[in-house]
Amino acid sequence: MNSLIATMPLKATAELADMVSTTIIIVNYRTAALTIQCIASLATDYVRDRAFRVVLVDNCSPDDSTNVLTHAIQENGWGEWVTFIFAPKNGGFAYGNNLGLSLIKQSFEPTDYVLLLNPDTVVRPGAVQALCDFMNANPSVGIAGSRLENMDGTPQISAFRFPSFWSELDDAFRLGLITKFLRQSVVAPPVRDEAHRTDWVAGASMIIRRDILDKVGMLDENFFMYFEEVDFCFRAQRMGFSCWYVPESRVVHLVGQSSGIDSADPKPKRRPTYVFESRRRYFQKHYGRLYASMTDVALLFGNLVWRARRMLQRKPNTDPPHLWRDMFSHSSLFHSVKS
């Protein structure tokens, strides 16, 4: 974590530091064009409010991202409020965000909030301020998330329940009767129009009260990608910090553009190994290996039942290639993780 190079000054000006209440962290990995679009969507609000700054982390992209982003920052005059740092390796989403969090702790003047923001997002006007206003009005809330939506304004599910044995069972069988019976355990409940408490929010746009980082800690870098925000919200809830969904903060999320994984894709690609490893780590870390193994058995059996039903009913196969094999080979039945 000590091999950092900053292309912009690490200290905000005294004038800017007096106004800043939020520091936004964006982690780029081979998505320079999307990252530029994301920062550009913030620029109007910055000019108007001057209430945030951005820490942009390049996660050791093997392409020309660093040159492209450096040029964009200079060309657009974003250097006053965008600090660009380079990671010495691609350690994953949590690792990249932790570099930004470390820089905030060590180099910047105090900030009230930290906003984790995906590079594949377009921030609607006022979205950052809406999150800050909500946090200011609700000092007991530790974490809040935006309403994520498609470019046409239709909502995406952004507020979730924690995964459990029952939610995995429902996900595997994909049967309406089971879903109805387990509706209180379904991870992705229907979108609601009002602000409400939830278990966790999508890390694509998640604001964290700066004070709780010292108590909850940083993101767990053993999650390369996926489940890191679930884990963080789980740890925060255990320590008494609530998490809320704030639909007044609207952020377009170009799903799958940065990760390459889109669950809505009718022809999905094979899931990377880290997806299964992150899931396994989450269940073992918080529930133990026995519970995780039982969950895997339910998932594997349920998926077999679904596959048989799909063939009998001639339903289309929308699963990623080799899904059952990958779930089996990465199961907690065969692997343990360090807590």
pLDDT of residue 329: 96
pLDDT of residue 8: 43
Residues 222, 228, 233: CA angle, nearest 5 degrees: 130
- Is the full-model pTM beyond 0.85? yes
The domains of the chain are located at: 5-156+191-253, 273-329
Residues 98, 99, 101: CA angle, nearest 5 degrees: 60
Nearest one of 259, 236, 216 to 118, comparing CA atoms: 259
pLDDT of residue 260: 55
Structure tokens at 70: 């450096």
Nearest one of 324, 229, 234 to 270, comparing CA atoms: 324
- Tens of each residue's pLDDT in the chain, 339 residues: 344 444 444 444 444 444 558 999 999 999 999 999 999 999 989 877 778 999 999 999 999 999 999 999 999 999 999 999 999 999 999 999 999 999 888 865 678 999 999 999 999 999 999 999 999 999 999 999 999 999 999 999 999 999 999 999 999 999 888 889 999 999 999 999 999 999 999 999 999 999 999 899 999 999 999 999 999 999 999 999 999 999 999 999 998 666 555 555 667 889 999 999 999 999 999 999 999 999 999 999 999 999 999 999 999 998 999 999 999 999 999 999 876
Range 5-156+191-253 has CATH code 3.90.550.10: yes
